[in-house]
Chains A and B, each alone.
Chain A
Amino acid sequence: MLLRRLPTFAAFAALTALTFAGPSWATDKDVLVIDKAEDPPTADPGVEVSNNGYTLIFPAYERLVKYDGAKTEVIPELAESWTTAPDNLSWTFKLASGHMFDDGSPVDAAAVKYSFDRVKKLAAGPGDMFPTVKDVVIVDPRTVKFELSAPFAPFLSALATSAGSIINPKAQEHAVNGDDAKAWLAEHTAGSGAFKISAWERNQQITLDPNPHYAGKKPAFKQVIFKIVREMSSRRLQLENGDADLIDQVPVDQAEAMKSSAGVVIESNPSLYVIYLYLNNKKAPFDNPKVRQAISYAADYKGLVDGVMQGQAEQMRGAVPDGMWGHDPQGMQYSYDLEKAKQLLADAGVSNLHISFTYSQADSAWEPVGLALQASLAEIGVTMDMKNVADTTKRELVAKGDYDIATGAWTPDFADPFMFMNIWFDPTKMGAPGNRAFYENPKVTDLITQALATVDQKKREQLYIDAQKITNEDAPYVLLFQKNDIFAMRSSVKGYVYNPMLIQVYNIADMSKSE
C-alpha cells in the first residue's frame, strides 16, 4: 500500500520543491542580504562595545562628526561647525538644521545632551570614550557646549565612534525600572541615521527599514536584512548561491578558495587590527629588556605573514599601525635573527630558560604563531610550553599578570594614536585596562602624557613617534603584524567604501545593487 503511494508522494515533493526553489530573495535589487556569523549583542550605543553591534548602530544613528569616507579624519555630520576654547577645556558645536529622528522630531541640543548624559550615567564600556567630559550644556536649541575636566586631545575623533551616537530623547519613554531605556534600546533604534531596526528575530535575522525622515540621500535599498549564519561553510554556500549579497568574518584560507567563485568579489583591505604578544615585564626574566629583545628577534615575521596569513597581513613597525597618523614609517622593525637572539640571552646571563605561551583559539593565527615561536626558541635553547585556554580564561590570566608570554589582538576605537600609545604604555593602566605587559618607562610615560594634553596634531605626532623609538627598543610587546580585513560579496553589490575605523560596518545608505 505504502509503496504504491510512493511515486505520488515523490511527485508531490518535487512539485513543492519547484514552487519554493524559485528566484531567491537576495537577487531583489532593492533588498540587501548580509550574512553575519553572530547575532549582535545589542544595538544600544550606550552599552555596546563590539563591532558586531556597530553593524547596526552606525547605519541607524548619526553623530556630531563622522569619518570622511575611507579616511580616518573626521568631517561634520550633525554638527555644521565647532570651536575650541584656548584652554582646550570646552568645545562648542553648532548643529546643522534638517536632521530628524525616525519619528520626525528634530535633532537638537537637548538630544545631544540626553545622549551624552546617558552614556556617562550607564558607565559601561562606551563611557570610557569620553573620560574627561564633565558636563554638556544646552546653549540654545542648536548650540551645545561640552565642558571637560582636563584636555582630551582625541575628543573630536572619539565623537565619531558608536558611543557618540545621538539618541532621540523620546527613547526615555521606554525606560523600565530606571534602566534609561537600556532594555528597549538593546533591540530597537531611535536615531536620525538612514535606517532603523524594524524587526529583530533573535539568532535568526534583523531587518532594517529606511528612516523616512533621514536628511541625506534616499538609500537604494528598501530593506536590509542581516541573517545570522554561524557556520562559515554555510555562509560561503549562501553567497555563492546568491542567497546572500555579502558575508563577513571570512578566514584567509576561505578567501583564497573563494577567489575562483563566479560572481564573488573578495574585499581585502589593510586594517588597524594588530596581532602581537604580551611579554610579562614585571616577571623575571622578562623584566630584562635584553631578554624581551631576544624573544622579538626569535619571531619569524616574514614566515608568519606569508605562511599563516597567506600574505593578508603586514609586519608592524612600532605600536601605531600603518594607516593611522602617528605611525612612524621609519620605525625600527625586529627581524628574524636567531644568532642575535642567542647573543642577547647570553648577555642577559640567562640560560636554560623554560617559559609558557598562553593563548586561546579566539584568533586562528595564535596557535600557528606560538608553534613557530616554539620551534625558533628551541633552537636557541629556550623551552616554551604551549598553554591553550578558553579565551575568557586567557584574558583573566593576562589581566592578572599570571603568564610569561601571551597572545594579544587590538583594534582602535577611534582614529588616534592614543588608542595604542596611552593604553599600552601608561603605567596607570596596568592589567585589564590595557597595559597588559606591565610596562613602565618614565620617559615614555612623560611623552604620552604630554601628547594627550596637546591639541596641535603635528606636535602630538612627534611626541608619539619619539615615544615609539623608546618602546621599540624596550620591546615590552612582540609586535607581529596588522591583519587585512576580509569579507566577500556578490559582484553586483556597488558603492562599498572601506574605512579602517569601521570594521563590520557597511555604508548601506550609499550602497546599491546592479542586478
Chain B
Amino acid sequence: MSLISTILRRLVLLVFVVAGVAIITFTISHLIPGDPAQLIAGDKASAQTLAHVRQELGLDKPVTQQFVIYVKQLLSGDLGQSLRTRRPVAGDIALFLPATLELGIAALVMAIMIGVPLGVLSAIYKDGPVDQAARVVSVAGISMPVFWFGLALILLFYVKIPILPGSGRITLGIAAPPRITGFFLVDSLVAGDLKAFWSSLYHLVLPAFVLAFANLGIITRQIRASMLDVLQEDYVRTARANGLSRSAVILRHALPNALIPSVTLLGLAFGDLLYGAVLTETIFAWPGMGSYVVSSIQTLDFPAVMGFTIVASLGYVLINLAVDLTYMVLDPQIRELG
C-alpha cells in the first residue's frame, strides 16, 4: 500500500475519532451534575441572575439542541467560548499549547539524548557496571512519582544549591519574546533576544528533565533490547568479520536498525509526555495546557474541556500517523506489506 493511500485512509479515520471523542466528552460533561451558571454567577446569585446567565450561555436549551449547536460551531472551526475566562477556547488553546509542546519536545529531546546512548552502552557492555547503572535509572524513572521528583529537584537546585529557577518560563523582569510560534526558544532567537533565549532555556532545564526522566527508562530499555537483538544478526557479524572497527559496526550498521522499533515508542512517549505535563506544569508553574485544563475541569468549563479533548485526540492521531509514516520510510518492507 502506498504512502498516499495510507495517509488518506488515516485522515478519514481521524474524522471518526474526533466525532467519537466529541460525542463522548459532550455526553460525559453534561451528565455530571453541576451548574456552570452557579459557578459563574457566584454562590449568592439570585434566581433571576442564574436564569439570565443560563440563558446567555445557552444552558437553558435541551441538551440535544446544545449538542447540535456545538457541532455546527465545531464544523466552522469554532471551539466556543470559555465559561470561565469568557475568551474563545481556540484562542486559549493556541495560547497555552505552545508552552506545553515546548516543554514536551524539550523533554523528548532530553530523553533521547540521554536514553539512546545509555541504551546502546548497556547493550554493548551487557551486565557491566554501565548496564547496571542504566537499569537503576530506568527503574527509578518509571517508578518515581513526577510530583515528588519535581519537588525534590526544586528543593535541591533552587533552594539548597540555587543555580536553577524554580518556576515559570522566563525570569521576572525579562520580557517574553514577541509571539510568533509561542515557543520562547524559537521566538527569542527570531527576535535576536539572547537574554530572553538563555533565560527561557534556563527555565526549561528542570521541568523538562523531570518530564524526560519518567520516559528515560522506557527508552533506555527499548534501545538496549533491540540493540542486543541486532548485535546477534548475521550482517553485524559479517561486518565485524570484514575488519570494520567496533565503533563503526555499532554506529553505522547496528544502531540504525535498532532504532526502527523505537520510533513507535518515541511517538507513544511523546503522548505520555504531554499527559505527564499536567503535573509537571503544576509544580513548576508552567503556563501550559495542564494548568488550563485543571482549572477548566474544576469550574465545569465544558467548552474548554471539550476543546482540549478534541485537540488532544487530534494530536494523538496525527502523532501516530507520523510514527507509522516514519516507520514506512525507515523500513521498506513494511511499506510493501502495508
Chain A residue at minimal CB-CB distance from B117: A2
Residues of A near B43 (CB, < 8 A) are 395, 410, 434
How far, in angstroms, from A396 to B54 measured CA to CA in the complex?
14
Of B18-26, B45-53, B268-276, the one contacting chain A is: B45-53
Q: Which of B49, B155, B168 contacts A237 (CB 8 A)?
A: B155
Is B213 in the interface zone, CB < 8 Å from A? no
A229 touches B285 (CB 8 A): yes
- Contact of A201 with B171 at beta-carbon distance under 8 Å, contacts A237-B166, A396-B33, A432-B50 already known: no
Question: What 0/1 pattern do residues 248 to 290 of B give for CB contact below 8 A with A?
Answer: 0000000000000000000000000000000000111101100
Contact of B171 among A20, A47, A131 (CB under 8 A): A20
In the complex the two chains form, is B49's CB within 8 Å of A231's CB? Answer: no
Complex contact B96–A203 (CB within 8 A): yes
Given contacts A19-B198, A25-B172, A397-B33, contact A432 B47 (CB under 8 A): yes
- Distance (whole angstroms) from the CB of A152 to the closest CB of chain B: 13
A227 and B171 alpha carbons, distance in the complex (Å): 11
Complex-state Cα separation, A25 to B39, whole angstroms: 36
Asked if residues A125 and B49 are in contact (CB atoms below 8 Å), the reply is: yes
Task: Indicate whether B138 reaches chain A with its CB closer than 8 angstroms.
Answer: no
CA distance A39 to B299 in the complex (A): 13
Q: Is residue A26 contacting chain B, with contact meaning CB distance below 8 A?
A: yes
Instruction: Please tell me if B35 contacts chain A, counting CB pairs below 8 Å.
Output: yes
- Residues from chain A with a CB closer than 8 A to the CB of B95 are 202
Q: How far is the CA of A378 from the CA of B43 in the complex (A)?
A: 32
Would A33 and B42 be within 8 Å (CB), given that A41-B84, A234-B167 are in contact? no
Does B162 reach chain A (CB closer than 8 Å)? yes
Determine if B106 is an interface residue (Cβ-Cβ < 8 Å): no
Name which of A238-246, A305-313, A317-325, A445-453 contacts chain B: A238-246
In the bound complex, residues from chain B placing their C-beta under 8 Å from that of A41 are: 84-86
Question: B165 contacts the other chain (Cβ, under 8 Å)?
Answer: yes
Tell whether, in the assembled complex, residue A241 and residue B158 are in contact, meaning their CB atoms are under 8 Å apart. Answer: yes
Instruction: Give Cα distance in the complex from A413 to B42, angstroms.
Output: 11
Docked-complex contact A231 and B155, CB < 8 angstroms:
no
Instruction: Kindly provide the distance from the CB of B252 to the nearest chain A CB, expressed in whole angstroms.
Output: 15
> Which chain A positions have C-beta within 8 A of B92?
202
The residues of A that contact B171 with a CB separation of less than 8 Å are 20, 25
Q: Which of B87, B173, B298 has the most C-beta atoms of chain A within 10 angstroms of its own C-beta?
A: B173
- Residues from chain B with Cβ under 8 Å of A18 in the complex: 163
Is A42 in contact with B34, judged by CB distance below 8 angstroms? no
Contacts A33-B172, A238-B166, A238-B167 given; indicate if A123 touches B48 (C-beta within 8 A).
yes
Contact with B along A191-202 (1 / 0, CB 8 A): 000000000011
Whose C-beta in chain B lies nearest to the C-beta of A44? B86
Contacts A20-B171, A230-B282, A393-B34; is A434 near B44 (CB within 8 Å)?
yes
Contact digits for B82-96, partner A, Cβ 8 Å, 1 yes 0 no: 001111000010011
Contacts of B86 in A (CB 8 A): 41-42, 47, 182-183, 186
Q: How far is the CA of A392 from the CA of B299 in the complex (A)?
A: 7
- A125/B169 in contact, CB under 8 A: no
Question: Given A17-B164, A202-B287, A234-B154, does the pair A128, B49 have CB atoms closer than 8 Å?
Answer: yes
Central interface residue in A21, A31, A393, by most chain B CB within 10 Å: A21
Name the residue on A nearest B50 (C-beta). Answer: A432
A50 touching B42 by the CB < 8 A rule?
A: yes
**B317 neighbours in A (Cβ, 8 Å):** none
CB within 8 Å for A203 and B298 given contacts A20-B171, A183-B86, A229-B285: no
The residue that B40 contacts in the complex, of A26, A38, A124, A390, with Cβ under 8 A, is A124
- A423 interface hit (Cβ, 8 Å): yes
Taken together as a complex, chains A and B put the C-alpha atoms of A234 and B46 apart, in Å, by: 38
Whether B300 sits at the interface, judged by CB under 8 Å, is yes
**Which one of A16, A124, A393 has the greatest number of beta carbons of chain B within 10 Å?**
A124
A285 within 8 A of B: no
Q: Mark A237-264, 1 if CB is under 8 A from B, else 0.
A: 1101101000000000000000000000
Chain B interface size, as a band, is 35 or more
Do residues A202 and B85 form an inter-chain contact, with CB atoms below 8 A?
yes
Q: Would B46 and A433 count as touching, CB distance under 8 A? A: yes
A234 to B284 alpha-carbon distance, docked (Å): 7
CB-defined contacts of A230 to chain B, threshold 8 Å: 282, 285, 291, 294
Interface residue A391 (Cβ < 8 Å from any Cβ of B): yes
| Distance from A45 Cβ to chain B, minimum over Cβ atoms (Å) | 13
- Provide the bound-state CA to CA distance between A122 and B41, in Å: 11
Taking the complex as formed, is B38 at the interface, i.e. its CB lies under 8 A from any CB of chain A?
Answer: yes
Is the beta-carbon distance between B283 and A231 smaller than 8 angstroms?
Answer: yes
Contact A393 B46 (CB under 8 A): no
A428, closest chain B residue (CB): B47
Name the residue among B32, B45, B165, B292 with the largest chain A CB count within 10 angstroms. Answer: B45
Max count, chain B CB within 10 A of own CB: residue among A21, A47, A390, A392: A392
Q: Kindly name the residue among A41, A186, A413 whose own CB sees the greatest number of chain B CB atoms within 10 A.
A: A41
User: Could you mark each residue 179-221 of chain A with 1 if its beta carbon is under 8 Å from any beta carbon of chain B, else 0?
Assistant: 0001100100000000000000111110000000000000000
Q: Which residue of A is nearest B154, CB measured?
A: A237
Q: Is B199 among interface residues, defined by CB-CB distance under 8 A? A: yes
| Residues of A contacting B96 in the complex (Cβ-Cβ under 8 angstroms) | 202-203
The reply to whether the CB of B28 lies closer than 8 angstroms to some CB of chain A is no
Contact of A125 among B41, B87, B287, B288 (CB under 8 A): B41
Q: Which of A393-434 contact B (CB under 8 A)?
A: 393, 395-397, 399, 410, 413, 419, 423, 429, 432-434
**Looking at the complex, which one of A20, A33, A205, A413 makes contact with B198 (CB distance below 8 Å)?**
A20
**Is B164 in contact with A391, judged by CB distance below 8 angstroms?**
no
Which residue from chain A places its CB closest to the CB of B34 in the assembled complex? A392
Q: Does A138 make an interface contact (CB < 8 A)?
A: no
User: CA of A229 to CA of B87 in the docked complex: distance in angstroms?
Assistant: 21
Question: Which A residues are in CB contact (< 8 Å) with B40?
Answer: 47, 49, 124-125
Say yes or no for B67: interface residue by CB 8 A criterion: no
Known: A18-B163, A124-B52, A201-B287. 4 other contacts (CB 8 A): A47-B40, A202-B287, A204-B287, A237-B159
Question: Which residues does A use to contact B, with CB under 8 Å?
Answer: 2, 14, 16-21, 24-26, 31, 33, 38-39, 41-42, 47, 49-50, 123-125, 127-128, 131, 182-183, 186, 201-205, 225, 227-231, 233-234, 237-238, 240-241, 243, 390-393, 395-397, 399, 410, 413, 419, 423, 429, 432-434
What are 22 contact pairs spanning A and B, CB under 8 A? Answer: A17-B164, A20-B198, A20-B199, A41-B86, A49-B45, A50-B42, A123-B49, A123-B53, A124-B49, A127-B49, A128-B49, A225-B172, A228-B285, A230-B282, A233-B151, A241-B158, A243-B166, A392-B38, A423-B44, A433-B44, A433-B46, A434-B43
Binding site for A on B (CB under 8 A): 32-36, 38-50, 52-53, 84-87, 92, 95-96, 117, 151, 154-155, 158-159, 162-169, 171-173, 176, 198-199, 202, 282-285, 287-288, 291-292, 294-295, 298-300
4 tightest Cβ-Cβ pairs between the two chains A and B: A392-B34, A49-B42, A204-B287, A25-B172
